[in-house]
């Protein structure tokens, strides 16, 4: 009993939830959480597929988690300093990088 299809379906649902979160939400921290959700959705599909394809999938998950942890640290630090500056985490207000 591998539950491969169920795992991939769950992974797809989680990923889509993440994408929609990133697209719809204005709050930077929530967007950040949605990105984590997408990363973990991918992790799930890696793990699920590693049974059939090979151990590299699980190995890759370790990398993703490490990078995600570093990203979370840096990302949260940036969000905090933005918050200090703007007193807000609404990304619609951050429009410096524009033409």
Partner 1 sequence: MVGGPLIGLLGTVLQEGAEHAGEFVPFLPAWMILLPFIGFVINGLVAYTAPERRKLVSVVGPGVLGLAFLIAAINLVLIAGVHDAEPVVRSYWTWIQVGQLRIDAALQIDQLSLIMALVVTCVSFIIHIYSIGYMGEDPGYARFFAYLNLFVFFMLVLVLAANFPLMFVGWEGVGLCSYLLIGFWFTQPAKAEAGQKAFIVNRIGDFGFLVAMFMLFAYLGTLDYQSVFALAPSGFAYGGAAVTVITLFLFLGCTGKSAQIPLYVWLPDAMHGPTPVSALIHAATMVTAGVYLVARSSVLFALAPLSMNVVAIIGGVTALFAGTIAIQQYDIKRVIAYSTISQLGYMFLAVGVGAFTAGIFHLGTHAFFKALLFLASGAAIHAMHHALHHAGEDASEDASQDMRNMGGLRSYVPTTFRTAWIASLALAGVFPLAGFFSKDEIIWSVGARGQTALWIVAVITALLTAGYITRWLVMVFYGQSRVSDKARQYLHAAPWVMAGALVVLALGSVVTGWINVPEALPLLPEFTWLHHFLHPAFAQAEHIIVEHVGEAAHVAPFGGGEGTWAIASTVAAVLVIAVVFQALKDKKYLPASESAEPTGIAGLLYHKYYVDELYDLVIVRPFKRLCVFSWRFIDQGIIDGALVNGSAYATRFGGWVLSRFQTGYIGTYVLVIVLGVLIILGAVTL
**Contact status: 17 vs partner 1 (CB under 8 A):** no
Q: Tell me the C-alpha distance between 54 and 57, whole Å.
A: 6
For residue 85, what are the β-bridge partners?
A: none
For partner 1, which residue of 5, 52, 55, 97 counts as binding (CB under 8 A)?
A: 97
Segments in the chain forming alpha helices (H) = 4-24, 28-53, 56-86
Burial of 32 from C-beta contacts in 10 A (0-12 / 13-18 / 19+): buried
For partner 1, which residue of 1, 52, 85, 99 counts as binding (CB under 8 A)?
A: 99
**Contact status: 85 vs partner 1 (CB under 8 A):** no
Burial of 7 from C-beta contacts in 10 A (0-12 / 13-18 / 19+): middle
**Contact status: 91 vs partner 1 (CB under 8 A):** yes
**Contact status: 42 vs partner 1 (CB under 8 A):** no
**Contact status: 22 vs partner 1 (CB under 8 A):** yes
Give me the least distance between CB of 83 and partner 1, in Å please: 16
Q: Which residues bind partner 1 (CB under 8 A)?
A: 19, 22-23, 31, 91-92, 94-99
């Amino acid at each position: 009993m591998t539950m491969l299809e169920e795992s991939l379906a769950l992974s797809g649902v989680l990923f889509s939830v993440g994408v929609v979160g990133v697209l719809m939400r204005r709050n930077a921290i929530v967007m950040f959480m949605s990105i984590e959700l997408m990363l973990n959705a991918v992790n799930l599909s890696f793990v699920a597929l590693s049974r059939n394809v090979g151990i590299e999938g699980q190995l890759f998950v370790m990398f993703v988690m490490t990078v995600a942890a570093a990203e979370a640290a840096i990302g949260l630090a940036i969000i905090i300093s933005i918050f200090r500056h703007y007193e807000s985490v609404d990304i619609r207000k951050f429009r410096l990088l524009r033409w």
